[in-house]
């Protein structure tokens, strides 16, 4: 039985649905319905709170400890005589005396024949102190009655009330925006304890999960709508969708784990999301994905408003400081800016809310520092995602543009003319890309490798021929055309053998599109005017370029080659050649699948004309020295 193939659109939407389900299941579950977060000295960030039922105000642990000490200071532990031991002097062991003194007991009760008598601790001795006092050895004759002592102690402590006062149903507890005082904090903690004593009903738990599910689904839907409206190409790529969802899952899972183990959520490097997205994609998508992630996390984190504000600052700083990551040191600098911005944002929010230094939690600054260190660890994730999803980062592009690399060195050795041509094309293409806002580093890299297929038969190409006849001229034009065309397929083979990224290979296969090898096509047509020509024998197999960068490289490659055949290097002559070549490519439909605008094309014409004019300017001849 053949398993039906799942449509790619359904698969991509299923990834988002799966993420939503997993995230809701990961959220920490609480045993009560009291989900508020509050701190002494900070404003109450929720609606005015009133009591839904009567509940007592519980004393704080400090109050209970203090009252217990006061009560126990009047308590008298019980002792009994040891049989057959002298009783003139009250003697206990050294350990027992230390216990009495450590607990602050000033008296003890000694029972004999069911009669109890109280003695001050000053009349009780140890073996050593009794000898020093009376000058003779005394035997220990008292031992603590632990059973009776514990019973009396328990009875005494049970008389101490754990509560102080009562909050009645309907009574206002705290208003929105009101600063939480110590008294308010005590009442709110008492309310939390009251909720703790009652388990959440199945109905409450169901509604809680339903609300979380709706929020998560809403935030993810907004992100999908953003992709559909502004970045449809990302939404159409299953690997890209999976990459986005995997980032969100990792960071949200870490946040949920920190909450389950009572760790600060500020230890989690939420900056990973905008950094990773910016390295492989664009700034707007990086920010939108980051906002979606922190909105989902805000559902369960303590102090969600404060958390959201701080993380917004983190995302904006991460994207702004990492506009184009080409060096590892940039990641360290970004981590430093994130640490500074987090610290400033937290301090500012605390001052704005309370106007006091006392509301600052110094431990958070340590958490921010640890988070910054973890942000630097994002470099390892960049490499992992790059290899797993076949993305390409600016760091990799910079490494590929190293002309001392093994592959480019081989190109320079075997086809020096082609290597120089590629260098010139890369300069032209990069300049044009900068002008129209395309990826200059990407097109520069593609230009360096676009003609590596010529290494297979370098002397078939005119730029590598020095003083020898062109062997293609002695061939049948159809055969010669196929030799020239083959440098594209040969280049793809060489690129794959050397494990070049797919995005670079795409430049190799598209830099001629489906254009004609015009020289051999015209030669054949002129020689056989009455025969029907098969254009497929003279056309490159394509595909046509589909990106701005691919179109720029196609233009730059053709125009640089054309400029070498010019006899007049004036600006007018170069401009004419540029316009003719680009117009011919447009007329041939080579740029029909690219997002180039008319303005882009005009800007590219202008850049090519000015650059080629500068590259081919005349120099003055130096006079010889008369002897």
Least confident of 318-327, 335-344, 433-442, 587-596: 318-327
pLDDT tens digits, 599-617: 999 999 999 999 998 877 6
Closest CA relative to residue 398, chosen from 325, 308, 501, 293: 325
Supply the pLDDT for residue 618.
57
Which residues are paired to 119 by β-bridges?
A: 108
According to the model, what pLDDT value does residue 159 have?
84
The DSSP element (H or E) to which 118 belongs, if any, is strand 115-120
Q: What is the pLDDT of residue 198?
A: 63
Measured CA to CA in angstroms, residue 411 lies from 95, 144, 356, 430, 496 at distances of 89, 96, 67, 20, 15
Tell me what the mean pLDDT of segment 151-160 comes to.
87
Higher pLDDT: 369 or 86? It is: 369
For range 86-99, the mean pLDDT: 86
Predicted confidence at residue 309, as pLDDT, reads: 93
Provide the 3-class DSSP secondary structure of residue 74. coil
Provide the β-strand partners of residue 144.
79
Q: What is the pLDDT of residue 51?
A: 82
Task: Please tell me whether residue 411 adopts helix, strand or coil conformation.
Answer: helix
pLDDT for 219 equals 97
| Tokens coding 77 | 């532990």
| Long-range pairs, 45-50, Cβ under 8 A, ≥24 | 45/176, 45/303, 45/305, 46/176, 47/176, 48/172, 48/174, 48/175, 48/176, 49/172, 49/173, 49/174, 49/188, 50/170, 50/171, 50/172, 50/173
Chain segment 498-547, per-residue pLDDT in tens:
999 999 999 999 999 999 998 899 988 998 888 888 888 999 998 999 99
Q: Whole-angstrom Cα distance, residue 39 to residue 193?
A: 16
Tokens (6 digits) for 491: 């280049």
For the ranges 195-199, 417-421, 546-550, the lowest mean pLDDT is seen at 195-199
Q: How far apart are CA 583 and CA 569, in angstroms?
A: 20
- Tens-digit pLDDT profile for residues 295-345: 999 998 888 888 999 999 999 999 998 877 667 778 889 999 999 999 999
Q: Is 174 exposed, middle or buried (0-12, 13-18, 19+ CB in 10 A)?
A: buried
| Helix%, strand%, coil% for the chain, nearest 5 | 60, 5, 30
pLDDT score recorded for residue 32: 55
Rounded Cα distance between 595 and 322, Å, is 26
For 201-244, how does the pLDDT look when each residue is reduced to its tens digit (9 = 90+)?
667 678 888 999 999 999 999 999 999 999 998 999 999 999 99
pLDDT in tens, 455-472: 999 989 988 887 778 888
> What's the pLDDT band for 1 if we cut at 50, 70, 90?
very low
**pLDDT in the model for residue 470:** 82
Give the count of beta carbons closer than 10 Å to the beta carbon of residue 404: 7
Structure tokens at 585: 């490519």
CA-to-CA distance for 200 and 203, rounded, in angstroms? 8
Q: What is the DSSP letter of 169?
A: T
129 phi-psi bin (left φ>0, alpha ψ -120 to 50, beta other): alpha
């Amino acid at each position: 039985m053949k398993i039906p193939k799942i449509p790619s659109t359904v698969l991509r939407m299923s990834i988002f649905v799966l993420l939503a389900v997993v995230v809701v299941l990961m959220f920490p579950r609480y045993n009560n319905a009291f989900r508020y977060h509050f701190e002494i000295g900070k404003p109450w960030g929720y609606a005015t709170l009133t009591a839904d039922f009567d509940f007592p105000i519980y004393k704080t642990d400090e109050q209970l400890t203090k009252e217990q000490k006061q009560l126990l200071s009047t308590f008298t532990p019980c002792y009994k005589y040891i049989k057959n031991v002298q009783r003139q002097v009250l003697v206990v062991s050294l350990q027992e005396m230390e216990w009495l003194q450590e607990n602050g007991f000033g008296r003890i009760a000694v029972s004999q024949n069911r009669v109890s008598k109280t003695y001050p601790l000053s009349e009780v001795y140890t073996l050593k102190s009794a000898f020093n006092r009376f000058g003779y050895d005394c035997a220990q004759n008292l031992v603590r009655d632990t059973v009776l002592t514990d019973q009396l102690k328990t009875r005494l402590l049970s008389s101490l009330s754990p509560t102080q006062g009562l909050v009645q149903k309907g009574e206002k507890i705290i208003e929105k925006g009101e600063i939480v005082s110590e008294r308010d904090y005590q009442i709110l903690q008492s309310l939390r304890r009251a909720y703790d004593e009652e388990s959440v009903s199945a109905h409450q738990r169901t509604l809680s999960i339903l609300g979380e599910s709706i929020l998560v689904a809403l935030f993810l839907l907004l992100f999908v709508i953003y992709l559909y409206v502004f970045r449809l190409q990302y939404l159409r790529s299953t690997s890209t969708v999976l990459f986005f969802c995997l980032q969100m899952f990792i960071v949200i899972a870490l946040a949920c784990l920190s909450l389950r183990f009572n760790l600060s959520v500020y230890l989690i490097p939420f900056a990973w999301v905008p950094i990773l997205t910016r390295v492989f994609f664009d700034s707007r998508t990086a920010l939108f994905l980051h906002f979606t992630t922190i909105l989902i996390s805000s559902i369960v984190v303590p102090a969600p408003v404060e958390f959201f504000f701080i993380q917004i600052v983190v995302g904006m700083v991460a994207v702004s400081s990492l506009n184009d990551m080409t060096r590892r040191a940039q990641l360290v600098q970004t981590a430093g800016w994130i640490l500074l911005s987090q610290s400033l944002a937290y301090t500012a929010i605390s001052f704005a809310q309370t106007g006091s230094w006392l509301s600052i939690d110094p431990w958070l600054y340590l958490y921010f520092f640890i988070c910054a260190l973890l942000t630097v660890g994002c470099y390892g994730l960049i490499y992992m995602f790059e290899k797993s999803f076949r993305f390409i980062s600016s760091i990799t592009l910079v490494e590929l543009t190293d002309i001392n690399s093994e592959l480019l060195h081989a190109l320079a050795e075997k086809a020096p003319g082609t290597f120089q041509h590629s260098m010139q094309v890369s300069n032209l293409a990069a300049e044009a890309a900068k002008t129209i806002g395309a990826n200059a580093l990407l097109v520069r890299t593609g230009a360096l490798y676009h003609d590596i297929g010529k290494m297979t038969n370098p002397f078939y190409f005119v730029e590598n021929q020095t003083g020898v006849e062109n062997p293609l001229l002695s061939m049948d034009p159809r055969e010669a055309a196929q030799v020239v065309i083959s440098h594209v397929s040969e280049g793809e083979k060489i690129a794959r053998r050397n494990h070049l990224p797919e995005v670079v290979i795409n430049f190799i296969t598209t830099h001629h599109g489906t254009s004609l090898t015009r020289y051999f096509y015209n030669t054949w047509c002129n020689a056989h005017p009455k025969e029907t020509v098969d254009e497929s024998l003279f056309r490159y197999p394509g595909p046509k370029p589909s990106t701005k960068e691919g179109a720029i490289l196609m233009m730059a490659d053709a125009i640089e080659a054309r400029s070498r055949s010019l006899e007049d290097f004036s600006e007018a002559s170069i401009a004419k050649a540029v316009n003719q070549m680009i117009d011919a490519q447009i007329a041939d439909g080579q740029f029909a699948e690219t997002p180039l605008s008319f303005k882009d094309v005009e800007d590219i014409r202008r850049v090519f004309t000015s650059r080629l004019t500068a590259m081919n300017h005349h120099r003055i001849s130096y006079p010889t020295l008369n002897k």
